[in-house]
Chain A
Amino acid sequence: MSSQRLVVIGNGMAPGRVLDHLFERAPHAYQVTIFNAEPRINYDRIMLSPVLSGEKQFEDIIIHDEAWYKEHQITLHRGKEVVEIDRNNRVVTASDGTKAPYDRLLIATGSNPIIIPVPGHDLPGVVTYRDLDDVDAMLSASKEKGRAVVIGGGLLGLEAAVGLKMQGMDVSVVHLASTLMERQLDEAAGHLLRKEIERRGIAVYTNANTSEIIGEGKVEAIKLDDGTIIKADLVCMAVGIRPSTAVAKDAGLAVERGIIVGDDLKTSDPAIFAVGECVQHQGQCYGLVAPLYEMAKVIAAQLSGDTDASYTGSVTSTKLKVTGVDVFSAGDFQQTEGREEIVLRDASQGIYRRLVLSNDQLIGAVFYGDTKDSAWFFQHIKDGTDVADYRDTLIFGPTYAGGDAIDPLAAVAALPADAEICGCNGVCKSKIQDTIKGEGLTSLDDVRAFTKASASCGSCTGLVEQLLALTLGDAFDPDAAKPMCGCTDLGHDAVRRLIVAGGLKSIPDVMQQLNWRTSCGCSKCRPAINYYLICAWPGEYEDDGQSRFINERVHANIQKDGTYSVVPRMWGGMTTAQELRAIADVVDKYDIPTVKCTGGARIDMLGVKKEDLPDVWSDLNQAGLVSGHAYAKGLRTVKSCVGTDWCRFGTQDSTGLAVKLERFLWGSWTPHKVKLGVSGCPRNCAEATCKDIGVVCVDSGYEVHFAGAAGMHVKGTDLLCTLETEEETIQYIGALMQMYREQGWYLDRIYKWAAKVGVDYVRDTLENVEERQSYYERFVYSQKFMQDDPWAARVAGKDAHEFTPITLDRRVETA
C-alpha cells in the first residue's frame, strides 16, 4: 500500500496524541515527518510544574521516547522551526533550509507566552513559563535561593510560585485582578486559595499592575504602578498565552486570534489541518489539555478516511496541580440574570462548593477543598442533565443523590462509561474497567502500567482505586490479601507464618513448598523472603547476598552516577579528633568529592568509586570506625542531644542512653530502616517524636515513643509507655524491635506496621511482663549473630568479585 506523506509542525502533546490515535487506526497509512522547534522528544507539558517543584524529573514526563519514533519510522527534525509553507507545491521549509514535501500537513505550533512590554522585560533573569528550557532556567536560578517574583496569579503562575518556593526561594506573586485564578474561580474560592498560598509563605499582591522591571545588567526588583518595589533575583512572567500563528498567517491561511478551523479541523486549505492551542474553533481558543485530546481524535479519524468525524467544541474543567491544594472549576459560573446558584460552605473544613444552574441544568461548578465528586458534577455539565428531581440535594453530590445510606462506591458506580477519570492522560471509566477485566489487573500499579490512568499527577488515584473495588468486588482488597508479588498468590503474613510453621529454612525451600510460579522469584519477593528467613532462623540461615538490593549487598549506598557513599557509625552522634582525622585522610587519599553531615548526626562521604570501597573501609576500620548501616533495612542511627552532661535543661543522660541503645541495637536487620532519637528533656532537641522509636527524658524517668515518621509521610509518634530506669527503657525497646521484626511486612516502617496491627495491641502486648521478656530475649539471641562489622569482613576478602571488575587485554583474543 503506497503511503501518503504527513508532515507535522510542532511536537507537543496535541500532535503526539493525534499520531497515537492515527497509528492505532491506520498503522501504515502515512510516512510521518515532524518538525520540532524544541531540541527534544515529546513530553507532558502539563507536568512541568511537578518538575519545577522537584516532585518529578524530566524523564518521568516523557510521553514518547526515542524507541517510539523509531518504531513508527518517524523522521524527527529537532530544533528546526518551520518558517515557510509553500501551499502551491505542498512543501514546508525549516529555518536551516530543510525541506519536506507533504500530502497532508498538520499545524500544531501551540502558543507563545505573553510578555508584558514593560521597561526591563528583556533583562537577564526575566523568564516565562512554557517549556522545559524555562523550567531549567528557573531551577538553575533557584539554586542561588534568593527572591523570585511571579507576575500572574493564574493557574500557571501559582504552580510556578509554589514550585519556586519548594526549591527554597523567597516568592511573591503579583496579580492584576483582585482574585487569584479569577478566570477559573469565583471570589470566595479565590479567597480560600489565597489564604492557603500565603500560609505556604508566599506573598500575594492583588490589584497589582507591574509598571517596570528594574535592574542594571540583570533583574533587581519590580515596581508596581502604586510605587511599591519588590526585590527580585528572578522574575517569571506567567500572564497568559497567545496562539502561535505566524507561519500559518504567512502562508495565507485564515487566521484571527488563532488559526481558523471548521468542525472537521481543516484550515482554509483542505490539505492542512490544525490542532491544539494554535487553533480557533467557533470563535474559541483553548489552553487546556482536554480539548486538545478531543481534537486529536477527530483529526486522526479524518486522516484515516472518516470524513464524518467532527469536533463540536469542549466544555473545560480545571484542576490546580499543587500538591495538597484541591481546586476544581468547570463550565460557566458567572452570575447573570436567569441563573440560580447553590452554595455550600464548611468553614471548619475549609470546604467551599458552588453550583450554577440555568433551566434546571448544571452549567458551572467551583469547588475548593473537597473535589472528590468533581467528575460526577463535570459529567452533569457536559451532558446537560436535567436535575429538577434532585435539585435540593444536588450540592451534596452523588452519595446523597441516591437517597440511600452512603455507599462510598456509589459515586463512581453512577458515572457513565465515557466519564473521564484521568484528565492528564484522557482515560475514561470504561477503558479502565475493560482493561481491569481484560488484562486481569488487581492493583493500582497494574492500572497505571496498562492504562496510564493515575500515572501522571495522581489526583485521580482515589477514583481509580474505587473503580478497582467496583470492578473486582470483594476480590479487591487494597491491603490484606495482596500477594507479595507476581510470583505467588500468598500475602506477606501468610508467607511469614508458613516459613515458621513449615520449618522452611532456605529461599529455594520456601519457593518449592509454597508453589512459587517462577524459578527463583523476582526482585520484590527475594529480598523479602531473605529477610523473613534471617528473622525466623537466627544463627542458622545463611544470608543470600544475591537476594539483597545492591546497597545491602555491598554495604554502601549507590548514587545516581553509579558511585557509592560511605557512612561510618558515630555512636549516638559522638565522635573524636582521631576519627575525624581518619575521615579527613580517607577523603584526601581516595579523592572523595563530597563530604556531608547527615540528618542522623554523622558524616557521609559521597562519590566513592566501587573499586575503592574495600580500601576506604580498611583505612576507616584502622581508626576504629565501622559500618554505619546507612544503606540498611536495619538499625540506622540513634540521634541524641547533649543531656545532663552539658545542657542546663537536661533531665537525664540522653547522650549516654543513645550510645547504649545504638551499641545494643546495631547490626539488626528489620523490615525497613529504623531510626531512633533520645532527647534529654521535653524541648526535644533530638526530634525524638518523629522517629521510628523515640525517648524523651523527663524528671521522673523516660517516655518511650514509637511509630513516628518524617519522610514521605510526616507523623508524630504515639506514646508507648513511661518508665523509671534506663535498664527498663532498653529492655522495652529491644522487645519492641523484635515484635516489629517478627510481624512487620518487608518494606513497612514501624508506623505502617503499627497501623496494621493497632497501636493499642502493641502497647498491651508489651505491657505484659512475660511477653515483653520473651520478645526481648529473642532479640538478644538474634543479636549474637548480627554484630559483626560487614566492612571488616569485606576488607578480609568476602565477596571480592563485587569490587573487582574484569578487564580486557588491549590485544583482542579471538576464540
Chain B
Amino acid sequence: MMSGPEPIWVKVCELSDIPLRGSRVLKTEAGCVALFRTVSDDVYALKDQCPHKKGPLSQGIVHDRSIACPLHNMVFDLDTGAARGPDDYEVQTFPTKIEHGIISVDLRNLGEGR
C-alpha cells in the first residue's frame, strides 16, 4: 500500500466533527474519502467506494472496527480494508493520526489503487 516516499499529512477536521460510531465524507478532486470514528474514538480513512458495487461506504453502519456497506451489507475491516468473511474484496485505506483533537490523513496514495 505504501508507495509514495514521503507521507503527505493533510489536516481534515476535528475529532468532534465526526459523530461517534459515525462517518463524514471528505471530498477531494481525486474522489471521496470516508472518515470513520469508532466507539473507542479511533479514526480510519478508506476510499468511499465499495469494491463490490461502488456503494458509498461512508453511508454504512460502523460497528467495532468495521463498516457495513449500505448497498448490500458487505462488511470491511477498517484497519486493513479487507472484506470480512470469505469474500476477497479489499478497499484502499489511508493512514490517519489525531493530534490535539485534529485529524490528519496521509493522502499520498490518493487517486491510486483500486
Contacts and interface: CB of A to CB of B under 8 A. Distances in A.
A167 to B, nearest CB: 21
A333 B20 CA distance: 66
Interface string A790-815: 00000000000100011110101111
Given A521-B63, A523-B68, A546-B61, A68 B88 contact: yes
Contact of A550 (B25, B29, B59): B59
Interface stretch (A59-67, A595-603, A678-686): A59-67
A449 interface: yes
A550 to B, nearest CB: 4
Contacts of B102: 815
B26 A59 contact: no
Nearest to B56: A562
B112 to A, nearest CB: 15
Given A523-B60, A806-B26, A812 B10 contact: yes
B64 A523 contact: no
A231 interface: no
A21 interface: no
A450 interface: yes
A73 to B, nearest CB: 15
Interface in B16-42: 17-22, 24-29, 32, 35, 39-40
A550 B56 CA distance: 10
A199 interface: no
A814 B12 CA distance: 11
B49 to A, nearest CB: 9
Nearest to A68: B88
B81 to A, nearest CB: 12
Contacts of B9: 814-815
A66 B113 CA distance: 13
Interface string B81-96: 0000110111000000
Given A66-B114, A815-B11, A546 B86 contact: no
Nearest to A807: B27
Contacts, number: 107
Interface string A443-485: 0000001100000000000000000000000000000000000
B32 A813 contact: no
Interface in A516-536: 518-523, 526-527
Interface string B73-114: 101000000000110111000000001001010010000001
B13 A806 contact: yes
A526 B104 CA distance: 29
B100 to A, nearest CB: 11
B113 to A, nearest CB: 12
Interface residues of B, number: 49
A562 B8 CA distance: 28
A520 B39 CA distance: 7
Contact of B39 (A519, A561, A805): A519
Nearest to A67: B88
A526 B86 contact: no
Contact of A558 (B12, B21, B59, B104): B59
A527 B62 CA distance: 12
A400 interface: no
A519 B63 CA distance: 8
B85 A449 contact: yes
Interface in A483-540: 518-523, 526-527
Contacts of A549: 61, 70
A143 interface: no
B104 A67 contact: no
A661 B60 CA distance: 33
B8 A71 contact: no
Interface in A551-584: 554, 558, 560-562
Contact of B90 (A67, A520, A558, A810): A67
A527 B40 CA distance: 20
A547 interface: yes
A59 B53 contact: yes
Contacts of A807: 26-28
A812 to B, nearest CB: 6
B75 A801 contact: no
A518 B63 CA distance: 9
Contacts of A520: 21, 39, 63-64
B28 A808 contact: yes
For the complex of A and B, list the 3 residue pairs with the smallest distance between their C-beta atoms, beginning with the closest.
A523-B68, A815-B9, A523-B61
Given A59-B53, A519-B64, A812-B10, 17 more contacts: A59-B52, A450-B86, A518-B63, A520-B39, A522-B68, A523-B61, A526-B61, A526-B63, A546-B21, A546-B22, A560-B55, A561-B54, A805-B25, A805-B27, A806-B27, A807-B26, A814-B10
5 contacts: A449-B86, A519-B64, A526-B63, A812-B107, A815-B99
